[in-house]
Amino acid sequence: MDKTIVKASVLVLGGTSPALASSGIAEGFGGVFLWIFCGYCSIIVVAQACAAISSLMGQARKEPEQEAVDSQEA
């Protein structure tokens, strides 16, 4: 194996070891913003899921004759 490859891999992997040794969670008030962001994302996901389920239920309620008429008109 080439020595430059070994040196490069040691430099890359050696730089990541201090990050793995950090103890505890980071200081600051980032946790509050993280929870607000997660709550906002969950509201979006629930709203989209409700819309998808409503659309699927609407398609399931269509009668076969109505689907045939709709496809012929298009």
63, two tokens: 């009668």
10 CB-contact burial (10 Å; exposed 0-12 / middle 13-18 / buried 19+): exposed
What span, in angstroms and rounded, lies between the C-alpha atoms of 9 and 57?
55
- Model pLDDT, residue 41: 96
* 27-49 residue pLDDT tens: 666 778 888 999 999 999 999 99
Q: What mean pLDDT value characterizes the chain?
A: 76
| The pLDDT of residue 22 is above 80 | no
